Structure 1
Amino acid sequence: MTANGLVQIAIYCAIIIVIARPLGGYMTRVFNGESVWLTPALRPVERIFYRLGGVDEKADQHWLRYGTAMLFFSIAGFVLLYAILRCQSYLPFNPQGFGNVDPLLAFDTAISFVTNTNWQNYGGETTLSYFTQMVGLTVHNFVSAATGIALAVAFIRGFSRASANGIGNFWVDLTRCTLYVLLPISIVVGLFFIWQGVPQTLGAYVDTTTIEGAHQSIAVGPVASQEAIKMLGTNGGGFFNANSAHPFENPNALTNLVQLILIFTIGAALTNVFGRMVGNERQGWALFGTMGVLFLAGALIAYHFEAGGNPNVTALGVDQATSALQAGGNMEGKEVRFGIVNSALFATVTTDASCGAVNAWHDSFTPLGGLVPLLNMQLGEIIFGGVGSGLYGILLFAIVGVFICGLMVGRTPEYVGKKIEAFDIKMTALAIICLPFSILGFTAIATVLPAAVASIANQGPHGFSEILYAFSSATGNNGSAFGGLSGNTPFYNLTLGLAMTIGRFAMIVPMLAVAGSLARKRKIAASAGTFPTDGALWVGILVAVILVVGGLTFFPALSLGPIVEHFSMLNGTLY
């Protein structure tokens, strides 16, 4: 590691800290229905949507109605996207003449974008038309992200309200999030990307002749508009197969920094929204601090091992030392224009959040460098996390944390003025346990089926890691991959689609049940026996709870993959 690299990480952290509070204040006003600077322009548009949808914006929904509306909206989105994929050849804006998408691949892709996962078992520039990319994928990038944010706000209302039957209105939250938060930022960022050289055109691919005389077709399209919401909404699905490693998606160091900032922007701001809505901003900063500690630890570990390189490569006479003339370290699978630190940082950020965009090949990371993004996803991607899902994920761990603290002192646990009782703990445990059930269950099945094992590019522990990474990514609604796994097979299209569904909805339903339970309870004033949840001690406890739960659950599987591969590498064995 170099001082320059550490400074870059520090600058990134400072930018996220600066953004969190003002954006959190703006989003709080939006979801509270208060006037913001965009209200004069967007309020009439908002009313039109309610009128067309027959929505009473003043109606407050019980958690069951809120959840049912979310589920039906997601089902309708899946059906629409599946139809677009299957009928692609008959739809407009298809200058390359791409055919209809295979049924199982269309199933996997539709589930992927509806659940905000954006797992891609295809190359976008060789498979999908402009219409599919815009109307199918980009639209779902907006609404799946808005759905996650709406769910987080509904969960916050469970803590902030007292003796209430409702947790908000799904249609109102969805509309306001899209209109006032996602769309304005995406327009500005999209224009910035166009300025930096990201294509935005409906013209056909450009045919050219190289200096060697060979024919080449250069893929272009409406890239900038998709790229903006891809990062802001932590969707991660790239227009091109190479994703953010492609120079048309991520041309330079400046666009790379902006993409990194976009991934964490809303997740960080939602912690401030939580603090404001429960009446104590310190509660939000405590969650931010917990996420920050876990993020920084992961980023430094990944950077350390990638900068250290592979000793077996050094033994072959390759110079991996950092110098003024080279980045040094493990540069396999990385873009020279980004180098070690920005590749390791991007991998950490994109898997802390459920983004999945990549600017380097995770499959080529060192074993422990690759363990960081893998573990990030297995912890539930609660380190800032996906837009919305990161916040409600860490709040579920906070409920477990105060429950454990309550057991230690023999007192009914409380969190931000709400008693945590048996029903809340049962639903919280159900929401948390569904993730390892899916990840480990599907991984176990895949490692014994010949058709599944045939898809891995490497044997031994790295091949196991490729399978484990795939189901961790799908269940965590991330979408990144150890690219050595060939996922476009009937087995993986089906099982990854099921894993994405479990990871999204099996967690949401019990979470909403907890939100409804908490909203009905009275607020309890803090007393001398109340455990403080807004200080450094609480941050330490919450970090420990997250790591212990993750460690107990996934350490055996990680031992079979990246950990044993690391020791094999030190012993001179390459996989």
Structure 2
Amino acid sequence: MAGSTALAALASIATVALVLVVLYRPFGDYLAWSYTSPKHWRVERVVYRAIGVDEGAEQTWRSYLRGVLIISAVGVLIVYALQRLQPWLPYALGLPAPSEHLSFNTAVSFVTNTNWQSYSPEQTLGYTVQIAGLAVQNFVSAAVGMAVAIALVRGFAARRSGTIGNFWVDLTRGTVRVLVPLATVAAVVLALGGVVQNFAGFTDVTTLSGAAQSIPGGPVASQEAIKLLGTNGGGFFNANSAHPFENPTPWTSLVQVVLMLLIPFSLPRAFGRIIGDTRQGLAIVSVMAILYAASFALLTAVESAGRGTAPELAGGALEGKEWRFGIVGSTLFATTSTGTSTGAVNSMHDSYTALGGMLPMLNMMLGEVSPGGVGSGLYAVLVLAIIAVFIAGLLIGRTPEYLGKKIGTREITLGALYILIAPTLVLAGTALSFAVPGVRDEVMATSIWNPGSHGLSEVLYAFTSAANNNGSAFAGLTANTPWMNIALGVAMLLGRFVPIVLVLALAGSLAAQDRVPTTAGTLPTHRPLFVGMLTAVTLLVTALTFFPVLALGPLAEGLMS
């Protein structure tokens, strides 16, 4: 990595780190207060009355899960219906209804916090669908993720309790107290930075060369804010955050990076406050930070080296990157969007070098714990922490414990099933795309434009993104086909809700236990030794699962270049 690039990388990540460190304690404490305060705001009580909820009632994990599934199922139906009815809706901009399979994929995508887009947004969806459908789900799906994480934290904090909170209260508080006020402030900041916010529709202009062109407008800043804060990632425009109307300048790009990281990096502080030991939160956030920093450094180094005559003459692999962001601004954004579950892009990952394209893929394959999505990152790393203490318990011949709770057969079974879900979906989806004769013909003839190892990488990236609810894509893949829309939709559904079922069952199991006393044989889980162990377990348990298929895709392509 050249000296100037290294200096720019250090300056960028130091700026982001400084902002996050300053906000970690006050915002983390605010998050903890939001979910534990005994008082309900007036607007919250209005919501409870409207939906017929007793805000004082506690729920078992099964009742909590029913709430998650009900709100999500209703969301899928509403977003699907809005798309199919688009021609009759106001502000449809004259656009037709998307196909059945595309409408299914899009509805599932936004409800599962994935925001995978098999379409060009400005040419497919009008303002009503964007606002009443997609933007609403950006809030709801993010609030669901945070609620599930808080339920798991309560499981650790509870003693002999059969309940883990009230889903409807957690969902409302996450939306009203956290997401809405933050998104409002962020939208104003982005609008001041030049992000578009209007209802202008398409404006016909004549370019400098004399050609006619239609310039789209829209309520972009407001949707952009929650897209980033909620780690959703769906762009208002096809180019996503590489579009100048979504992300005009380097400083707005840096603001967007901070917005993506703010809640995931602050939730460990809330975790520590709720369980009564902030050192545990520091240990968790340290693991997240180590993985994030390592991924950013490696990706920047690979893209800066950029093998080949053209990249070397240009000073790095600049294909697919906006000049106003450069390599560092692009790799910082890519690391952030795939390390969280955001999936937004300010450069085209398909144009990265072979090894460079593999690193965002690895961020997702880690289970998105660096730092992960809002809520989903915290509960994923806590499951891995349970795996880590179980392994440590085997090494020293003791019953493993974590935060005063014994990790028995039920807990480790739920944890093991959790870490198997994403690899199963990714590898099965990729394999079926090439193994089933009729499907293979469609994928090879329509979806893949770059055959060989890179084509395999494109399909692998798509299923990795869907199963981990990320939403970013190798842009060279045409995904708007019946097979890809349906298969990716199923991967998104299972990748979101099967882990949630397991996490809530785990929360219920932990809540039913009493705390066991700390002894001389208890592994301290707030010290550097455990931080290193959890980091190693994250890498070994998750990333190595995918090594064989990576060897056929990006690794093979990288060795040939």
In the alignment, the residues of structure 1 paired with residue 62 and residue 444 of structure 2 have an alpha-carbon distance, to the nearest angstrom, of 41
The aligned runs of 1:333-344 (5 Å cut-off) are 333-344=320-331
Match of 1:121 in 2: 118
Match of 2:546 in 1: 554
TM-score relative to the length of structure 1: 0.95
The aligned runs of 1:216-255 (5 Å cut-off) are 216-255=213-252
In the alignment, the residues of structure 2 paired with residue 559 and residue 531 of structure 1 have an alpha-carbon distance, to the nearest angstrom, of 36
Match of 1:323 in 2: none
The aligned runs of 1:145-294 (5 Å cut-off) are 145-294=142-291
Q: Which moved more, 1:70-79 or 1:303-312?
A: 303-312
Residue type at the aligned position of 1:70: V
Shift of 1:312: 4.6
Check if 1:56 corresponds to 2:54: yes
Check if 1:352 corresponds to 2:346: no
1:319-351 CA distances to partner (integer Å, 9 max, x unpaired)?
A: 13xxxxxxx200000000000001011111100
Match of 2:374 in 1: 387
Match of 1:325 in 2: none
Shift of 1:452: 1.7
- RMSD across aligned positions (CA): 1.1
Match of 1:414 in 2: 401
1:141-172 CA distances to partner (integer Å, 9 max, x unpaired)?
A: 00000000000000100001111110000000
Match of 1:565 in 2: 557
Shift of 1:289: 0.4
Aligned length: 552
In the alignment, the residues of structure 1 paired with residue 258 and residue 38 of structure 2 have an alpha-carbon distance, to the nearest angstrom, of 27
In the alignment, the residues of structure 2 paired with residue 4 and residue 30 of structure 1 have an alpha-carbon distance, to the nearest angstrom, of 37
Q: Which moved more, 1:142-151 or 1:457-466?
A: 457-466
Check if 1:450 corresponds to 2:441: yes
In the alignment, the residues of structure 2 paired with residue 27 and residue 546 of structure 1 have an alpha-carbon distance, to the nearest angstrom, of 26
Where does structure 1 lack aligned partners over 5 or more consecutive residues? 321-327, 570-575
Match of 2:302 in 1: 305
The aligned runs of 1:304-323 (5 Å cut-off) are 304-313=301-310, 319-320=313-314
In the alignment, the residues of structure 2 paired with residue 254 and residue 294 of structure 1 have an alpha-carbon distance, to the nearest angstrom, of 24
Structure 1 residues 312 and 445, CA gap change in structure 2 (3 angstroms): farther
1:389-438 CA distances to partner (integer Å, 9 max, x unpaired)?
A: 00000111000000000000111100011111100111111111011000
SS of the residue corresponding to residue 319 of structure 1 reads helix
Shift of 1:447: 2.3
Shift of 1:198: 1.4
In the alignment, the residues of structure 2 paired with residue 104 and residue 459 of structure 1 have an alpha-carbon distance, to the nearest angstrom, of 25
Shift of 1:11: 2.0
In the alignment, the residues of structure 2 paired with residue 12 and residue 184 of structure 1 have an alpha-carbon distance, to the nearest angstrom, of 21
Which of 368, 377, 390 is 1:403 aligned to?
A: 390
TM-score relative to the length of structure 2: 0.97
1:465-507 CA distances to partner (integer Å, 9 max, x unpaired)?
A: 0010000000010000001110000010000000001110111
Match of 1:423 in 2: 410
Shift of 1:535: 0.9
Residue type at the aligned position of 2:260: I
Check if 1:489 corresponds to 2:481: yes
In the alignment, the residues of structure 2 paired with residue 487 and residue 259 of structure 1 have an alpha-carbon distance, to the nearest angstrom, of 26
- For the Cα contact (< 8 Å) 2:105–2:489, is it kept in 1? yes
- For the Cα contact (< 8 Å) 1:446–1:453, is it kept in 2? no
In the alignment, the residues of structure 2 paired with residue 14 and residue 447 of structure 1 have an alpha-carbon distance, to the nearest angstrom, of 46
Shift of 1:34: 4.8
Check if 1:434 corresponds to 2:421: yes
In the alignment, the residues of structure 2 paired with residue 453 and residue 66 of structure 1 have an alpha-carbon distance, to the nearest angstrom, of 43
In the alignment, the residues of structure 2 paired with residue 447 and residue 548 of structure 1 have an alpha-carbon distance, to the nearest angstrom, of 27
Shift of 1:310: 2.2
SS of the residue corresponding to residue 447 of structure 1 reads helix
Residue type at the aligned position of 1:18: V
Shift of 1:527: 1.4
Percent identity (aligned):
51
Which of 430, 455, 467 is 1:463 aligned to?
A: 455
- For the Cα contact (< 8 Å) 1:208–1:217, is it kept in 2? yes
- For the Cα contact (< 8 Å) 1:350–1:357, is it kept in 2? yes
- For the Cα contact (< 8 Å) 2:84–2:103, is it kept in 1? yes
SS of the residue corresponding to residue 139 of structure 2 reads helix
Where does structure 2 lack aligned partners over 5 or more consecutive residues? none
SS of the residue corresponding to residue 105 of structure 1 reads helix
